[in-house]
Amino acid sequence: MSQTFDIAVIGAGPGGYIAAIRAAQLGYRVACIDAWTNASGGPAPGGTCTNVGCIPSKALLQSSEHFEHARLHFADHGIATGTVKIDVPTMVARKDAIVKQNNDGILYLFKKNKVTFLHGRGSFVRALDGGYELAVEGAQNTTLQARHVIVATGSRARALPGVAFDEERILSNDGALRLQAVPKKLAIIGAGVIGLEMGSVWRRLGAEVTILEGLPTFLAAADEQIAKEAKKAFDKQGLKIELGVKVGEVKTHKRGVTIAYTDAQGQGQTLEAERLIVSIGRVPNTEGLGADKVGLKLDERGAIVVDALCRTNLPGVWAVGDVVRGPMLAHKAEEEGVAVAERIAGQHPHVDFNTIPWVIYTSPEVAWVGATEQQLKASGRAYKVGTFPFMANGRARALGDTTGMVKILADAATDQVLGVHMVGPLVSELIAEAVMAMEFKASAEDIARICHAHPSLSEATKEAALAVDKRPLNF
């Protein structure tokens, strides 16, 4: 018999599972449907983020960073290790165990919050009077009815035209996180977030990594000065990044992959590699969702069309996360999920797209929030800049990592913080202060007058804020 719910959520990635929990907290009867299946055939809620995204990539970044530190930097501290070796299967097994902990954690949270979890593929069957009928196919075959539906089906890796992922030679993020040995030569197409993070992992472990990027500028979305600083560091590490290339034919063979491309000077080139990671962006998951059965509007990319409040063209149908417009980030998906649950409950939450932070977990890390300097220039807004290098920060020196800087952009007249850009150690953590400052419409002076612990990396943020007013104390 078909079950009835107030709210059905399709997808248990960070957008969906968080929406389901918040809706249950608000007193609704909630079902969450997710198709992800682990190697033993069981459910693996958490979506791309938990299974093949944020969490496993950070696990491998941590392991590979330890390896690099042990190999190259421990000696500076007087620690002798002898020859350091990496056991890739153990590293990958550790990553898998962390993923499993997260999957289990979400199942526990569903139970705790009385969310009904259905393992299978969900799709629209038809619109009802005041709701929708959905089908679930997979481990559990059933139908259900719900007054509201939140679609949070996420995204998947975009393939190069005519070059399908085989996860053997041509890898998406999935295969890139499952390699059982370090490839001698690794090619990556796309110097975006995945290209840089995965490139860093396998370079640290000993692969010769070449990244081919189509755009002539490196990390075009980041502040130019910060991107330049990051590029300098990656070059020094031996991460080879070729900009402005046009990728041609990609052929697989027994020993690997051959990639033909035209370089920035218009010269034809070939790159031989054992494996190729294609990280050229992601496409929304709307195939098989039954959008046509109910008239759910999609755009030309297949993304669900929503307004600023995540409302689709259908009454009672909402969509959040990677399957809609905006940055494909887990925390953006979560904020939208919470906001939708609260809107269904008649509340008026607000998600400020201008204060969604970006973090790239390479070494140095790159993080930013708000406008870049090039965006402010283009908009004609008068601004002031304050920068502070980690070179002049005591904690960074003690850590042995003084690469990079903090940069604050503030309105020339009001001093309001408009953007904060960082490259350096642990800036993934430092950026939270900048997000809070921007959410509270703080001025640079506000940050400058806050007492920051000494010695800490966060003092670089305070000093950058002081530098906006040309009065840094330690530089």
Which residues contact ligand FAD (rule: CB under 6 A)? 10-16, 33-36, 47-49, 53-54, 57, 121-123, 152-155, 173, 194, 285, 288-289, 321-323, 328-331, 333
Residue selected from 33, 360, 405, 448 as contacting ligand NAI according to rule CB under 6 A:
360
Q: Does 16 bind ligand NAI (CB under 6 A)?
A: no
Beta strand pairing status for 256-262 and 268-273?
Answer: antiparallel
Q: Which of the residues 66, 77, 421, 454 is marked catalytic?
A: 454
Q: Which does 321 bind (CB under 5 to 8 A by kind): ligand NAI, ligand FAD, none?
A: ligand FAD
Question: Residue 373 and residue 116: Cα distance in Å, rounded?
Answer: 47
Q: Least distance in Å: CB of 44 to ligand NAI?
A: 19
Q: Which does 333 bind (CB under 5 to 8 A by kind): ligand NAI, ligand FAD, none?
A: ligand FAD
Per-residue b or e along 21-55, where b marks 16 or more CB atoms closer than 10 Å to that residue's CB: bbbbbbebbbbbbbbbeeeeeebbbbbbbbbbbbb
Q: Which does 15 bind (CB under 5 to 8 A by kind): ligand FAD, ligand NAI, none?
A: ligand FAD
Is 66 among the catalytic positions? no
Question: Residue 417 and residue 444: Cα distance in Å, rounded?
Answer: 6
Q: Which does 11 bind (CB under 5 to 8 A by kind): ligand NAI, ligand FAD, none?
A: ligand FAD
Task: Kindly list the distances between the CA atom of residue 438 and the CA atoms of 357, 394, 415, in Å, as whole numbers in the listed order.
Answer: 11, 26, 12
Q: Which does 389 bind (CB under 5 to 8 A by kind): ligand NAI, ligand FAD, none?
A: none
Nearer to ligand NAI, 247 or 438 (CB): 247
Q: Nearest Cα to 55, choosing from 88, 2, 96, 90?
A: 96
Q: Dig out the tokens for 43 from the structure.
A: 């459910």
Residues 183-202 that bind ligand NAI (CB under 6 A): 189-195, 197
Q: Which does 212 bind (CB under 5 to 8 A by kind): ligand FAD, ligand NAI, none?
A: ligand NAI
Interior CA angle at 437 toward 436 and 441, to 5°?
A: 115
Question: Residue 115 and residue 108: Cα distance in Å, rounded?
Answer: 10
Residues 297-336 that bind ligand NAI (CB under 6 A): 327-329
Q: Least distance in Å: CB of 156 to ligand FAD?
A: 8
Question: Residue 160 and residue 249: Cα distance in Å, rounded?
Answer: 10
Residue with tokens 């929030």, as numbered in its chain: 369
What are the counts of helices (DSSP H) followed by strands (DSSP E) for the chain?
14, 22
Question: Residue 141 and residue 125: Cα distance in Å, rounded?
Answer: 13
Q: Least distance in Å: CB of 333 to ligand FAD?
A: 4
Count of residues near ligand NAI by CB under 6 A:
23
By beta carbon distance, the residue nearest ligand NAI is: 192
Nearer to ligand NAI, 194 or 430 (CB): 194
Question: Residue 231 and residue 387: Cα distance in Å, rounded?
Answer: 18
Other CB atoms within 10 A of residue 398 CB:
10
Concatenated DSSP letters for 279-302? -S-EEE--TTS-HHHHT--B-TTS
Q: Least distance in Å: CB of 151 to ligand FAD?
A: 8
Residue 102 region by backbone torsions, left for phi larger than 0, else alpha for psi between -120 and 50, else beta: alpha
Nearer to ligand NAI, 372 or 443 (CB): 372
Active site residues: 454
Interface with ligand NAI by CB under 6 A: which residues?
189-195, 197, 212-215, 247, 279-282, 327-329, 359-361
